[in-house]
């Protein structure tokens, strides 16, 4: 993969970046996504943020090799801390992490979200964590997509600020309001697998032990929600 040839996953992620956006790609790795966004005219300025030295150096090398240092700032820092108010960032991309980690990044620096018009989030797991965060912080889902790449299934969530209160049902929070309405083949494959997995786990838990009551109730709710949507 290089800046001209993104993976299917990252290509879908960057497709949600509006023309001439000012983006921050958090956990940018080799800075493939911001380089592509600049070269394709999707963004006019980008930050490639990395907290780890190795990926930071890789991103720096990549941006320099393409002579994009005027349009892309490679910065080392934790999460949203790489964003400065003068950057006027309007779009934040966080892709390839767990949902809980992405949520913690958003929660750690809420002031950095001031002025941001769009979040493009691609959690590898636990997308429900981000829908919960969206409800609490008044960000609304405007698009969701799901795709398969290399035998793995990924969800992409696009959020924008909401003036109105945001509320999702238990099913929408777990499965995604847009995805559960579309019910694509990939969506079915993901949740049939999860259903089988959780049902197996449920069968191995001692139902007679009081300490397992909360875990069983949580599993029973998830199983019920999935069965109702897949029906």
Strand order in the sheet with 43-50: 72-76, 43-50, 21-26, 91-97, 118-123, 152-161, 139-149
Share of the chain above pLDDT 90, in %: 94
Chain centroid to Cα 162, Å, comes to 18
- Per-chain mean pLDDT for the chain: 96
14-24 pLDDT, tens digit per residue, is: 999 988 999 99
The pTM (predicted TM-score) of the whole model is 0.95
- How far is Cα 81 from Cα 87, in angstroms, rounded to an integer? 12
Share of the chain above pLDDT 70, in %: 98
pLDDT for residue 154: 99
Q: Is 106 exposed, middle or buried (0-12, 13-18, 19+ CB in 10 A)?
A: buried
Residue 208's pLDDT band (boundaries 50, 70, 90)? Answer: confident
């Amino acid at each position: 993969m290089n800046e001209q040839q993104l993976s299917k996953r990252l290509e879908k992620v960057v497709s949600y970046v509006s023309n001439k956006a000012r983006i921050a790609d958090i956990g940018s790795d080799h800075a493939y996504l911001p380089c592509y966004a600049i070269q394709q005219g999707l963004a006019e300025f980008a930050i490639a943020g990395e907290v780890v030295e190795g990926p930071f150096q890789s991103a720096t090398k990549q941006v320099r090799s393409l002579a994009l240092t005027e349009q892309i700032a490679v910065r080392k820092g934790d999460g949203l801390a790489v964003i400065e108010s003068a950057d006027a960032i309007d779009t934040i991309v966080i892709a390839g992490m767990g949902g809980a980690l992405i949520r913690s990044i958003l929660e750690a620096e809420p002031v950095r979200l001031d002025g941001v018009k769009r979040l493009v989030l691609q959690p590898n797991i636990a997308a429900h964590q981000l829908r919960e965060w969206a409800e609490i912080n008044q960000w609304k889902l405007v698009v969701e997509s799901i795709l398969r790449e290399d035998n793995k299934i990924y969800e992409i969530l696009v959020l924008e600020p909401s003036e109105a209160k945001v509320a999702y049902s238990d099913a929408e929070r777990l499965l995604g309001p847009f995805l559960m309405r579309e019910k694509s083949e990939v969506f079915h494959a993901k949740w049939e697998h999860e259903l089988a997995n959780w049902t197996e786990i449920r069968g191995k838990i001692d139902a007679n032990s009081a300490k397992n009551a909360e875990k069983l109730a949580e599993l029973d709710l998830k199983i019920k929600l999935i069965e109702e949507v897949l029906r």
